[in-house]
Copies of this chain bind each other. A is one copy, B any other.
Amino acid sequence: MTGSNMGVDNKFPGKDLTEDDIQNKIPLVAKRSPDHRTTFECGGVEFGGKLVPVMAGPNTVENEELIVKTAIGIKKAGAHFLRGGAFKPLTFPYRSAKFFETREKGLEWLQVAKKETGLPVVTEVMEISKIDLVAKNCDMLQIGTRNMQNYPLLTEVGKTGMPVMLKRGFGNSLRDWLMAAEYIALEHDRLNQPTKIVLCERGVVAPHTHRATSRFLLDLQVIPAAQEITHLPIMSDPSHATFWQPWVKSMMLASIAAGADGLMLEVHPDPKNAAVDPLQCSSLEQFDDIMKACRPVAEAIGRTVDA
Q: Which residues of B contact A151 (CB under 8 A)?
A: 89, 93, 126, 146
> Does A255 reach chain B (CB closer than 8 Å)?
yes
Q: Which of A3, A92, A153, A211: most chain B CB closer than 10 A? A: A92
Q: Which residues of B contact A33 (CB under 8 A)?
A: 1-2
Q: Which residues of B contact A91 (CB under 8 A)?
A: 13, 149, 175-176, 179-180
Whether the Cβ atoms of B12 and A16 lie closer than 8 Å is no
> Does A133 reach chain B (CB closer than 8 Å)?
no
Bound-state CA distance A175–B32 (Å) is: 36
Q: How large is the interface on A (under 10, 10 to 19, 20 to 34, 35 or more residues)?
A: 35 or more
CB distance from A141 to the nearest CB of B (A): 16
Bound-state CA distance A258–B185 (Å) is: 33
CB distance from A173 to the nearest CB of B (A): 4
Whether the Cβ atoms of B213 and A12 lie closer than 8 Å is yes
Q: Which of A19, A152, A180: most chain B CB closer than 10 A? A: A152
Bound-state CA distance A9–B17 (Å) is: 12
Whether the Cβ atoms of A22 and B8 lie closer than 8 Å is no
CB distance from A62 to the nearest CB of B (A): 18
CB distance from A247 to the nearest CB of B (A): 4
* Choice from B19, B36, B126, B208 contacting A219 with Cβ under 8 Å: B208
What are 7 A-B contacts with C-beta separation under 8 Å?
A3-B17, A8-B16, A25-B94, A91-B179, A174-B210, A210-B222, A256-B257
* Known interface pairs A7-B212, A15-B15, A254-B258; 11 further A-B residue pairs with C-beta atoms within 8 A, sorted by A's residue number: A91-B176, A93-B155, A127-B152, A173-B210, A205-B207, A210-B221, A218-B220, A220-B254, A224-B250, A224-B251, A299-B300
